[in-house]
């Protein structure tokens, strides 16, 4: 038995050290610009129908009035979040958190079932990048024209085309930043202030901050956001299984690759259906070759499917060399449309949506908060009656003016002195000071529980809260 540990010589020469340093430096190599090719097809029409509603909703909602205010308006100074008929208050922030949790579970469910369709069709990064890519193609031309333009020396033509492209980019970016701030500040006044250069410092900062972020992410970084900044690409594998829908190349049909003429008997030449035209690579917004297999960089945008189908049509071959499929289908194994993980995600998602809907429907339209004056245990009126002082805060959470009546129960003979009838505007919060008074002989104990009620005039809403009434010791 050989007990010796094998040794290996280490090259400490300057050449070896220089090679290691070069290899380490390559980890931070400069990004290579991706020149995408414009393509048409079925899935690009689908992307159009999913992207435009998102864009129109984002840009138009702040301009649409609803009950005299923007349809979606986050009024931070007044601590009110308005979404159509709904108004969320500070105590309702748990509901906003619930919306985020439901959205996350919806993403998990869709990803398990259909893969990264969110990334490919409705992710804001994808949609805004598509706009910027369209502006680039409009100003600089096709893929080959853009490549030649970037390599060409500066000229009047190049300067004009680059200026047009960046002007369009900046215009979309500023409009995006303006609209985002328009969800927090009335957009009509905001737009007028922007045109007259009369913006407040914070409004100006956030408009240009989000404009800069949009310009950088959609114009310059593009696929880098998806590959390195977005965490979704990293943890999506935890939701994938062998029956998750993916975009994939069929190697059994496509290999071996090679160019040929349409009339050639390519089967006799030992070739598969892939003509190695590189169209699938040229149209990919992340710059990958889908023929290399399943990759985390793939965002399931299906550009490669439309590009490949176009070539298959020209060659007279069957479509679907690149297609939406599953790993089990590719390997001719049994597929499972319904599986435990998908059912689990779906069941939890349905439960949360139902619970959230019921919570919204049963939400109180009136809020009451009571603070008892603790500076003194009790007071005595000039008539010898016992009194306790209270401060009531009443909030009208509806979108209409309401009239309310305040009453108290718990001790027979207890009466209220002060303003017991209120009229509150939509969203108005008011504070009322009241005294609860009772004759000493009617007080059954020195410390009693009482309950205040605030009831709307039409009896449609009522809220109550308990407090204490304290009097002298009774022997």
Domain around 448 = 366-470
Closest CA to 212 of 185, 179, 172: 172
Which pLDDT score, from 0 to 100, does residue 9 have?
A: 54
Closest CA to 306 of 325, 288, 321, 328: 321
- Is the residue at 20 inside a domain? no
Chain segment 280-323, per-residue pLDDT in tens: 999 999 999 999 988 888 999 999 999 999 999 999 999 999 99
- Is the residue at 428 inside a domain? yes
445: CATH: 2.60.40.10
Higher pLDDT, 460 or 381: 381
- Is the residue at 2 inside a domain? no
Chain segment 338-365, per-residue pLDDT in tens: 888 889 889 999 999 999 988 888 777 8
Compute the distance between CA of residue 34 and CA of residue 183 in angstroms, rounded to an integer: 34
Closest CA to 411 of 375, 390, 440, 431: 440
Together in a domain, 118 and 250? yes
The answer to which of 25-39, 176-190, 273-287, 378-392 has the lowest mean pLDDT is 25-39
Confidence of residue 69 (pLDDT cuts 50, 70, 90): confident
Domain count, the chain: 2
- Is the residue at 12 inside a domain? no
- Is the residue at 8 inside a domain? no
Together in a domain, 85 and 112? yes
Burial class (CB in 10 A: 0-12, 13-18, 19+), 237: exposed
Together in a domain, 324 and 420? no
Together in a domain, 190 and 313? yes
Site of tokens 């939406």: 324
State yes or no: pLDDT of 31 exceeds 80: no
Q: How many CB atoms lie within 10 A of CB 303?
A: 28
Q: Give the sign of the dihedral formed by CA 150, CA 280, CA 141, CA 45.
A: negative
Together in a domain, 333 and 192? yes
Long-range Cβ contacts of 453-459 (<8 Å, 24+ apart): 453/406, 453/407, 453/408, 453/409, 454/366, 454/368, 454/392, 454/394, 454/404, 454/405, 454/406, 454/422, 455/404, 455/405, 455/407, 456/366, 456/402, 456/403, 456/404, 457/402, 457/403, 457/404, 457/405
Which of residues 316, 345, 363 is at a domain's end? 363
354 φ, ψ (degrees, to nearest 5): -65, -45
State yes or no: pLDDT of 203 exceeds 60: yes
State yes or no: pLDDT of 475 exceeds 70: no
Compute the distance between CA of residue 387 and CA of residue 377 in angstroms, rounded to an integer: 9
Together in a domain, 213 and 284? yes
Which of residues 340, 363, 386 is at a domain's end? 363
Average pLDDT estimate for 376-389 = 88
Together in a domain, 310 and 401? no
Average pLDDT estimate for 210-226 = 93
- Mean of all residue pLDDT scores within the chain: 87
Which pLDDT score, from 0 to 100, does residue 14 have?
A: 56
Together in a domain, 272 and 308? yes
State yes or no: pLDDT of 18 exceeds 60: no
Together in a domain, 404 and 336? no
- Is the residue at 3 inside a domain? no
Burial class (CB in 10 A: 0-12, 13-18, 19+), 56: exposed
Closest CA to 435 of 452, 457, 448, 447: 452
Average pLDDT estimate for 180-190 = 93
Preceding omega of 256 cis (within 30 degrees of 0): yes
Together in a domain, 290 and 171? yes
Site of tokens 């999913």: 50
Chain segment 71-122, per-residue pLDDT in tens: 899 988 877 888 887 788 777 778 888 888 999 889 889 999 998 888 899 8
Which of residues 320, 345, 363 is at a domain's end? 363
- Is the residue at 18 inside a domain? no
DSSP structural state of residue 61: G
State yes or no: pLDDT of 152 exceeds 80: yes
Together in a domain, 336 and 440? no
- Is the residue at 19 inside a domain? no
High-pLDDT (> 70) share of the chain, %: 93
Instruction: Kindly report whether the global pTM for this prediction surpasses the value 0.85.
Output: no
State yes or no: pLDDT of 15 exceeds 60: no
Together in a domain, 359 and 435? no
């Amino acid at each position: 038995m050989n007990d010796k540990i094998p040794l290996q010589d280490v090259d400490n020469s300057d050449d070896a050290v220089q090679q290691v340093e070069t290899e380490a430096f390559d980890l931070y190599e400069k990004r290579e610009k991706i020149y995408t090719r414009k393509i048409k097809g079925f899935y690009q029409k689908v992307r159009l129908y999913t992207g435009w509603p998102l864009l129109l909703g984002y840009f138009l909602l702040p301009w649409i009035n609803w009950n005299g205010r923007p349809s979606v308006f986050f009024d931070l100074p007044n601590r009110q979040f308005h979404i159509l008929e709904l108004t969320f208050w500070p105590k309702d922030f748990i509901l906003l958190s619930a919306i985020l949790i439901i959205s996350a579970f919806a993403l998990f469910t869709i990803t398990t079932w259909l893969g990264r369709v969110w990334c490919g069709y409705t992710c804001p990064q994808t949609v805004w990048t598509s706009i910027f890519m369209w502006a680039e193609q409009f100003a600089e031309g096709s893929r080959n024209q853009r490549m030649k333009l970037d390599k060409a020396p500066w000229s009047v033509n190049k300067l004009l085309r680059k200026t047009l492209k960046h002007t369009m980019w900046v215009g979309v970016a500023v409009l995006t930043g303006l609209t985002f701030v328009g969800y927090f500040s009335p957009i009509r006044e905001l737009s007028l202030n922007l045109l007259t250069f009369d913006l407040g410092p914070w409004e100006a900062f956030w408009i240009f901050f989000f404009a800069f972020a949009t310009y950088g992410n959609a114009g310059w970084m593009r696929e880098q956001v998806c590959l390195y900044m977005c965490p979704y690409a990293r943890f999506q594998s935890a939701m994938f299984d062998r029956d998750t829908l993916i975009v994939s190349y069929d190697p059994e049909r496509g290999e071996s690759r090679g160019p040929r003429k349409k009339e050639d008997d390519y089967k006799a030449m030992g070739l598969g259906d892939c003509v190695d035209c590189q169209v699938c690579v040229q149209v990919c917004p992340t710059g990958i070759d889908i023929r290399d297999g399943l990759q985390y960089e793939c965002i399931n945008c299906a550009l490669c499917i439309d590009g490949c189908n176009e070539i298959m049509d020209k060659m007279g071959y069957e479509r679907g060399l690149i297609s939406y499929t599953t790993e089990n289908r590719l390997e001719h194994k049994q597929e499972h449309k319904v599986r435990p993980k998908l059912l689990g995600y779906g069941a939890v998602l349905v439960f949360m949506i139902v619970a959230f809907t019921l919570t919204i429907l049963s939400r109180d339209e009136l809020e009451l908060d009571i603070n008892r004056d603790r500076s003194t245990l009790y007071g005595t009126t000039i008539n010898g009656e016992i009194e306790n002082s209270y401060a009531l805060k009443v909030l009208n959470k509806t979108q209409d003016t309401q009239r309310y009546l305040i009453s108290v129960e718990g001790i027979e003979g207890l009466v209220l002195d002060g303003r017991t009838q209120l009229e509150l505007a939509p969203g108005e919060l008011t504070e009322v000071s009241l005294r609860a008074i009772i004759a000493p002989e009617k007080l059954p104990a020195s410390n009693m529980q009482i309950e205040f009620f605030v009831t709307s005039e039409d009896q449609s809403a009522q809220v109550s809260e308990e407090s204490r009434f304290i009097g002298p010791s009774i022997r």
